[in-house]
A = this chain, B = another copy of it.
């Protein structure tokens, strides 16, 4: 019992919205954080060495559905930490996951970054695309605020349990993350090279993000570009935002745009939220998102048909345990 900590987050809201001509009302989840429940622990092995593990499942806190058929969809890893840094094996966060550090509305359901970068094909976002199966992960110590992460993920078709499919495939992927965090400044550069994504076989993606805390105002922003050499097709996403402390809470505002080389495939997204701290663990919030789409795409919290714009408002609670 003392070896494991049970923890998690629930984030559920009442939402209203309009996509094209269709109106929506209901209960949904995940404005500030994807709901999760996890089991984690660490053991001191002596000589500065530690064994650590995390097993974490994601689910919809509005209806109890799991995020996927996995037992532990978000994380499932074991590793060793020492003077050399950390080495882990299993299903782990690629550097792209940490891009939420440079987004204004916690990279959740109403955040422009989550909506624009989490959509089809991009690999650097704070969602499922940044949780890699069968991966080897290295995270360095911090040197004067600077740290690096490298991860290699074996494609699922070659490294299933019991390893019955022995052919090396083209769905392996590798990512490098460089972070500088010192005082008010956070800087991230992330690179991903992945095979067999929705975007093609030689998917290469770069991300540059930053956050600076001016005291009464925190400015965040990022730019990323995904490139497929074969047909010279690019997807670009940028977003900029701010977090403004107000009394016992914060105002969050963000704007972003997605630009695809493909015809009529651009989107723009705007998000605004107020989060009120009921305690360190519990936050009440209200937020909105408006996303508009060109004729060939349908991004947004609600949009279903290409070209539709999506308007959504949510009022909810996030509780961490």
Contacts and interface: CB of A to CB of B under 8 A. Distances in A.
Contact of A159 (B28, B109, B159, B166): B28
Interface in A1-20: 1, 3-8, 10-15, 17-19
Given A1-B6, A163-B15, A164-B302, A65 B71 contact: yes
Interface in A259-276: none
Interface stretch (A45-53, A212-220, A223-231): A45-53
A293 interface: no
A306 interface: no
Nearest to A133: B63
Contact of A278 (B45, B69, B168): B45
Given A134-B28, A167-B24, A78 B17 contact: no
A27 B135 contact: yes
Contacts of A8: 4, 39, 55
A27 B158 contact: no
A97 interface: no
Given A76-B64, A89-B27, A3 B10 contact: no
A105 to B, nearest CB: 15
B166 A281 contact: no
B6 A163 contact: no
Contact of A51 (B7, B166, B319): B319
A298 B110 CA distance: 49
A18 to B, nearest CB: 7
Contacts of A89: 12-14, 27, 61-62, 316-317
B302 A19 contact: no
B76 A163 contact: no
A29 interface: yes
Given A17-B163, A321-B4, A168 B282 contact: no
Contacts of A207: none
Given A51-B279, A61-B76, A63-B159, 20 more contacts: A1-B6, A4-B7, A4-B321, A10-B78, A12-B77, A15-B163, A27-B90, A27-B154, A28-B160, A28-B163, A30-B162, A43-B319, A46-B279, A62-B133, A64-B73, A64-B76, A69-B69, A89-B316, A162-B301, A166-B304
